[in-house]
C-alpha cells in the first residue's frame, strides 16, 4: 500500500515496470491534489488534440469526485517516477475481451518515454490477469508523440481518418513481443565461448 493510501486507509492496485523506473498506482481520493496540480500547471497542454482533461477537471474537487465515483469499467492509475506523479494511465473495459488504454503526461515530464514505460505494467495486467484479447488506443492524428508512444509499446495502426488514429495490440502480438524480450535476455546472459 502506498503512503497516500495508508493515510486514508484505502487499498489500491500498485504495479512497477519491469525496469523498475515507473510505478502505476490506482488513483484514490488522496491523489486528487497531485493530479490536479499537473493539469493546472499547463491547462493548454491538456486541451490540445481535442483532449478535454483540462475542461473536465477545473478543480481539485472535480478530480476527487471523479475518483470517488469511478466508472465501473475503468481502472485509473497515476504514473509515478521517484515518488512524483507525472501523469495518468487508464484501462477501460469495452466488452468481455476488449479494452482501451489512454494516458497523458504532465507537460513538465514529457520527452522521457514515461507513457510507453507506464503502459507495460498496464498491458501485463490486461493480458495476463484480465485475459483481454485486444486492446485499442485512439489518438488524434496530429499527436505524433502519443502515436510514437503506442507504437513503441507494440501497437499497430488499424484505422486512420482526419479525427482519429486507432491502434490495436492483441494478446498474441504482446505475448510474442514478451517472448522475444525473454529470448534476448537469455541470449545476452549466456556466456560466450572463448576465442
The pLDDT of residue 186: 52
Strands 134-139 and 14-16 turn out to be unpaired
Query: What is the per-residue pLDDT for 44?
Result: 73
pLDDT in tens, 102-121: 999 999 999 999 999 999 99
For the domain made up of 3-186, give the CATH fold.
Aminopeptidase (3.40.630)
**Cβ-contact 86, 114 below 8 angstroms:** yes
Average pLDDT estimate for 46-75: 84
Q: Please tell me the distance from the alpha carbon of residue 102 to that of residue 139, in angstroms, as a whole number.
A: 9
pTM score, two decimals? 0.83
Q: What percent of the chain has pLDDT over 70?
A: 86
How far is Cα 141 from Cα 157, in angstroms, rounded to an integer? Answer: 11
Whole-angstrom CA distances from 59 to 1, 49, 78 are: 26, 21, 17
Report yes or no: 75 and 90 within 8 Å, Cβ to Cβ.
yes
Q: What is the mean pLDDT of the chain?
A: 85
pLDDT at 43: 76
What are the cell numbers at 102? 489512454
Residue 144 pLDDT exceeds 50: yes
Cell of 71: 466508472
What is the tens place of the pLDDT at every residue in 157-194? 999 999 999 999 999 999 888 765 555 555 455 555 56
CA distance 171 to 194: 40
β-bridge mates for residue 101, sequence order: 91
The grid coordinates listed for 147 are 502515436
| Beta-strand runs (E) in 7-64 | 14-16, 23-26
SS3 153: coil
3-state secondary structure of 186: helix
CB-count burial class (<10 Å; 0-12, 13-18, 19+) for 89? buried
Sequence spans of domains, the chain = 3-186
Judged against a pLDDT cut of 80, whether residue 80 lies above it is answered with: yes
Amino acid at each position: 500500500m502506498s503512503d497516500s493510501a495508508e493515510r486514508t486507509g484505502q487499498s489500491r492496485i500498485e504495479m512497477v515496470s519491469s525496469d523498475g523506473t515507473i510505478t502505476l498506482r490506482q488513483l484514490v481520493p488522496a491523489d486528487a491534489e497531485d493530479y490536479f496540480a499537473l493539469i493546472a500547471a499547463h491547462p493548454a497542454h491538456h486541451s490540445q488534440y481535442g483532449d478535454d482533461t483540462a475542461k473536465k477537471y477545473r478543480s481539485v474537487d472535480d478530480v476527487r469526485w471523479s475518483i470517488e465515483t469511478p466508472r465501473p469499467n475503468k481502472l485509473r492509475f497515476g504514473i509515478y517516477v521517484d515518488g512524483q506523479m507525472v501523469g495518468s494511465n487508464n484501462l477501460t473495459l469495452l466488452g468481455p475481451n476488449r479494452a482501451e488504454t489512454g494516458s497523458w503526461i504532465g507537460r513538465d515530464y514529457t520527452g522521457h518515454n514515461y507513457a510507453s514505460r507506464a503502459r507495460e505494467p498496464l498491458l501485463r495486467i490486461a493480458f495476463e490477469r484480465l485475459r483481454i484479447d485486444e486492446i485499442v488506443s485512439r489518438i488524434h492524428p496530429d499527436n505524433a508523440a502519443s502515436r510514437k508512444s503506442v507504437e513503441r509499446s507494440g501497437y499497430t495502426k488499424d484505422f486512420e481518418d482526419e479525427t482519429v488514429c486507432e491502434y490495436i495490440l492483441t494478446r498474441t502480438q504482446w505475448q510474442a513481443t514478451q517472448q522475444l524480450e525473454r529470448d534476448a535476455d537469455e541470449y545476452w546472459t549466456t556466456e560466450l565461448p572463448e576465442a
